[in-house]
Amino acid sequence: MKTNLVNLALGLAFTAGTVSCQSQKNNPVFEHQGDTMTVVRIASPAKYLLLPVQESSNEGQVKLDTGSPADTYMDVRLATDSVEYYVPFALPQGAAEAVVVVKNVAADALCWDSIKVADTFDTTNRDKFRPVYHHTPLYGWMNDANGLVYKDGEYHLYFQYNPYGSVWGNMHWGHSVSKDLVHWEHLDPAIARDTLGHIFSGSAVVDTKNSAGYGENTMVAFYTSASDKNGQIQCMAYSTDNGRTYTKYENNPILTPFDGLKDFRDPKVFWYEPDQKWVMVVSADKEMRFYSSRNLKDWEFMSGFGEGYGVQPSQFECPDFIQLPVDGDKNRMKWALIVNINPGCMFGGSATQYFIGDFDGKEFKCDTKPEVTKWLDYGKDHYATVCFSNTGERTIAVPWMSNWQYANILPTKQYRSANSLPRELSLYTKDGEIYMAADAVKETEALRKDEHEVGSLVVNGESRLEELVPNTDGAYELSMDITPGASQLAGFELLNGKGEKVNIYLDMKENRLVMDRTESGITDLGEPSKFNVHEKETDNHRMKLSVNYKNDFALGTWAPLSLCEGKTYHLNVFVDKCSIEIFVDGGRIAMTNLVFPNEPYDTLRFYSEGGEMKVSDFTVYKLGL
């Protein structure tokens, strides 16, 4: 056995910020047991062991050893030859000693000289692309929104979370709460990875009936435990402190696939009033399966839907199932099954489709033929869309704002991924078909901190520049009506001083709205790394524009204007430091795309081709929290 004692100086600076390190008694002692096994001992431990991360390193396994069978290894890419940032690993408080076991990390790795102990972890933002008003984790990786539920004046946003690195891994349920869907308070993770596996996506309900027996109005969460050993199994946990902490059901799992299916995950649970029962929808490879229960613990299979429907062949994920009035008529209700798929997006990668139909408490019957595909968003960066439960007559959805083709290699380090703006969902009819609109929730109006009324202007072939609200910090909203008139192209470019731009226009010849980000800033994200989920689609799943694809990121996206009415289009365009979201005519078209400009877009260039374009009721709002 080789034992090394490393003394750490006070006040060391590190990539993720400056921390105050503890006195000698907190210094870790490393016992290297062979080449890749190390026991770390900390006497009178501080709050955190700060672990140095290098994303290109192989995963090591790190475990707080308490002697309990529940002790679980976490996968951490500990630095081998350079430190990119640090992550906090919580230590027991009040203990005489903390013991941390590390496997599969070489004894000569740089991390052993760089590990620190501290009572604080600095989460001050250091990423230039961190959004101003979109929800992000303070640090670490985030993907799917989970367990969205409203209770006692709070919106609970749980999410797939890796607290030990800014790439996918160690799935926990991270947790943030909000009273207004705009300002978010970050809380400790609510459900942690355990010996059953990663904590994958799921849902949460308020058990007003005390069906599960944990008390009236208890919050009950449903999630997938995923591991190579156990496969993907559905589990349950309950909270008696308004969702801050959860107790896992002692008899988990509550549901396993009856046919040994590998991809069986993301349970969505809701109360079905006509039959006085709970219904669970689970993604099962390329379909959805419906189950029922009276007590939230024992589940019976009812039916399946989806085989051959929509984009094929694509993995069905993250279902949601909601009932909405058509055109606001509460006497005409329809069910909408939201299905997130990967791959399958018309522009490559992951996306959200939906199906409209009827549900009799057992089976879902779709109104359209299997080959019909309806998209909830026409951008490249809109996925894993799920809805809050317990919100009454409002149906509010939150998407993940990224794409599995490049999610792990976005140009940020302290954190990765954000949520799109919350959207209110509704159904409308167009040409005899029922479609779903997704509009930014009205609460976003509270973000407006300054207003610049431009009014109206006419563009007839010639370019016209408009300066935006100064000092926006790259966070603003454009609200305008565009009447293309006889123009074949009518639109505008968002530009910055470096010549980077995003082109947004109405292509009246092709009858579509286009957002082109090929020259938006950083567009070559590099080759997908070994931990990135990256799948190519065939050309028939990728609708080419007049520009060439440089890579999976540098492209344009488009949406059919046939979803809208009239000859004037109302646009709300939300710009944040790394994203642009467009909502047309109250969300009949929604389009979400990431952008990474080297400096904020601060200028607008209007243009038209082939005729006169009118812009009216044009207002620019500076946005902030």
- So which residues are the catalytic ones? 144
Side-chain half-sphere CA neighbours of 609 within 13 A: 9
* Rounded to 5°, angle at Cα 429 from 428 and 435: 60
> Coil, strand or helix: which one is 154?
strand
Residue 175 CA to residue 148 CA, distance in Å, equals 10
Inter-residue contact 63 to 40 (CB < 8 Å): no
Side-chain half-sphere CA neighbours of 545 within 13 A: 21
Residue 416 CA to residue 440 CA, distance in Å, equals 23
Residue in the structure block whose two tokens are 């979803």: 563
> Coil, strand or helix: which one is 420?
coil
Q: What backbone phi and psi angles, to 5 degrees, belong to 624? A: -170, 170
Q: What backbone phi and psi angles, to 5 degrees, belong to 185? A: -105, 125
Six token digits for residue 94: 């009040």
Residues linked to residue 479 through DSSP beta bridges, in sequence order? 572, 619
Residue 99 CA to residue 300 CA, distance in Å, equals 44
Q: Judging by DSSP bridges, how do beta strands 140-151 and 415-416 pair with one another?
A: parallel
Residue 580 CA to residue 517 CA, distance in Å, equals 10
Return the C-alpha torsion angle 573, 576, 577, 581, nearest 10: -50
Return the C-alpha torsion angle 595, 437, 354, 416, nearest 10: 30
Residue 283 CA to residue 285 CA, distance in Å, equals 6
* Rounded to 5°, angle at Cα 506 from 422 and 504: 60
CA 367 remoteness from chain centre = 29
Residue 222 CA to residue 233 CA, distance in Å, equals 11
Inter-residue contact 108 to 163 (CB < 8 Å): no
DSSP letters of 184-212?
-EEEEEEE--BTTBEEEEEEEEEETT-TT
- How many angstroms separate the Cα of 58 from the Cα of each of 105, 212, 450? 8, 42, 48
Q: Judging by DSSP bridges, how do beta strands 569-576 and 85-90 pair with one another?
A: unpaired
